[in-house]
């Protein structure tokens, strides 16, 4: 009997040791982004992250741009059914197990399997990396949703065009353009399977002109250097703010003012555009000829003085004090009407 008890105790001990050597549960094996970065290439990795964008589904696989609070991941050609693809919308949390790989500098997860997790959606805000352009630190932001501010559109090639189609015949491939900052030029890409020709992004690039100043949002893909996949484009915020900050004194338009001259009313008609005053007509049919006032109306002397002064404070004509005063009053009357 003692031998049987001893045998059972030994068996229980062996089973206990075996259980202690079992692999960790999936939750315990999940890596932080720092762990993922430190992992060697071609090794198996497991991460939890959130879908941010996806390329088109085809042949039971799709490519996903993913990000969590601590970093980003590029899931290349992850197997999924069309039904699963429709569930993997931006904000969806997933656990992914695959192999860390690299192609032309782009670090990605391949041969991945995934599991959808219950969680509140997470959508990343773009990180401004404009100041990191041209530096070694930029690669640390690889695959993040990033922004570039105040970029100037440059000619893409010797034709002078602002962009180029990879497939110009039927627009079924990527779209390329170049922008500059602080004297350096960079190439950006609209990835067709992410943003095709029907999207606002694709069409916004087609509408670019050389010299445009723009802000961009993109996933920081890497191909032998930074090759951002653009998902947002807009006029530069600084330009918009500057335009809004302009406070004009006058409303644009055409205005006619009246002032009393030597022989009767004088009228001055002006057009204002962004505070620039142009004289259209001056009339003073009752002013006395031969003393300078009437002649100055007819020969354009008053017109030249008003446009030079850009206000009613003109020098006037010697010997035609009343006429000069009438012109000043007429201009001032027109400007009063135009006050913004």
For 62-107, write each residue's pLDDT tens digit.
999 999 999 999 999 999 999 999 999 999 999 999 999 999 999 9
DSSP H or E stretch at residue 199: none
Phi first, then psi: give them for residue 78, nearest 5 degrees: -75, 125
Tell me the pLDDT tens digit for each residue of 269-319: 999 999 999 999 999 998 888 766 888 889 999 999 999 999 999 999 888
Residue 241: pLDDT band (50, 70, 90) is low
**Separation between Cα atoms, residue 142 and residue 161, nearest integer Å:** 29
* Strand-pair partners of 61: 58, 79
**Mean pLDDT of all residues in the chain?**
89
Topology alike, domains 26-117 and 127-243: yes
User: In this structure, what is the dihedral angle of CA atoms 297, 303, 308, 312, given to the nearest 10 degrees?
Assistant: 80
CATH architecture of 127-243: Beta Barrel (2.40)
Biggest CA–CA distance in the chain, Å, is: 145
In the numeric block, which tokens belong to residue 105?
């500098």
**CATH code given to domain 253-337:** 3.90.1010.20
**Within a 10 A sphere around the Cβ of 241, how many other Cβ atoms?**
9
Entry pTM: 0.64
**Within a 10 A sphere around the Cβ of 289, how many other Cβ atoms?**
10
| Closest of 184, 173, 188, 201 to residue 132, by C-alpha | 184
* pLDDT score, position 11: 47
| Closest of 254, 285, 253, 246 to residue 267, by C-alpha | 285
Each domain of the chain, given as residue ranges in start order, spans: 26-117, 127-243, 253-337
Class of 26-117 per CATH?
A: mainly beta
Pairing type for strands 44-54 and 71-79 reads unpaired
């Amino acid at each position: 009997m003692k031998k049987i008890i001893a045998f059972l105790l030994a068996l229980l001990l062996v089973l206990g040791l075996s259980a202690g050597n079992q692999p960790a549960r999936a939750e315990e094996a999940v890596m932080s982004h720092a762990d993922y970065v430190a992992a060697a290439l071609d090794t198996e990795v497991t991460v939890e992250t959130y879908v941010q964008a996806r390329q088109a589904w085809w042949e039971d696989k799709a490519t996903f741009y993913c990000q969590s609070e601590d970093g980003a991941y590029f899931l290349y050609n992850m197997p999924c059914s069309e039904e699963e693809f429709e569930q993997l919308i931006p904000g969806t949390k997933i656990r992914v197990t695959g192999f860390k790989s690299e192609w032309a500098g782009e670090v990605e997860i391949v041969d991945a399997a995934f599991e959808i997790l219950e969680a509140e959606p997470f959508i990343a805000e773009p990180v401004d990396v404009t100041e990191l352009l041209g530096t070694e630190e930029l690669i640390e932001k690889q695959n993040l949703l990033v922004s570039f501010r105040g970029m100037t559109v440059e000619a893409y090639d010797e034709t002078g065009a602002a962009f180029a189609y990879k497939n110009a015949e039927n627009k079924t491939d990527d779209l390329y353009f170049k922008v500059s900052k602080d004297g350096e030029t960079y190439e950006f890409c609209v990835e067709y399977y992410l943003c095709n020709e029907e999207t606002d992004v694709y069409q916004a690039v087609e509408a670019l002109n050389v010299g445009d100043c723009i802000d961009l949002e993109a996933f920081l893909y890497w191909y032998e250097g930074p090759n951002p996949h653009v998902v947002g484009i807009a006029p530069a915020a600084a330009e918009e703010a500057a335009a809004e900050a302009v406070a004009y004194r006058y409303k644009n338009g055409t205005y006619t003012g009246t002032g009393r001259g030597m022989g009767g009313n004088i009228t001055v008609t002006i057009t204002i555009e962004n505070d620039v005053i142009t004289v259209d007509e001056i009339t003073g049919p009752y002013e006395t000829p031969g003393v300078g006032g009437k002649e100055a109306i007819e020969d354009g002397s008053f017109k030249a003085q008003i446009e030079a002064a850009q206000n009613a404070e003109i020098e006037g004509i010697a010997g035609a004090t009343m006429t000069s005063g009438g012109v000043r009053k007429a201009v001032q009357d027109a400007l009063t009407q135009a006050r913004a």
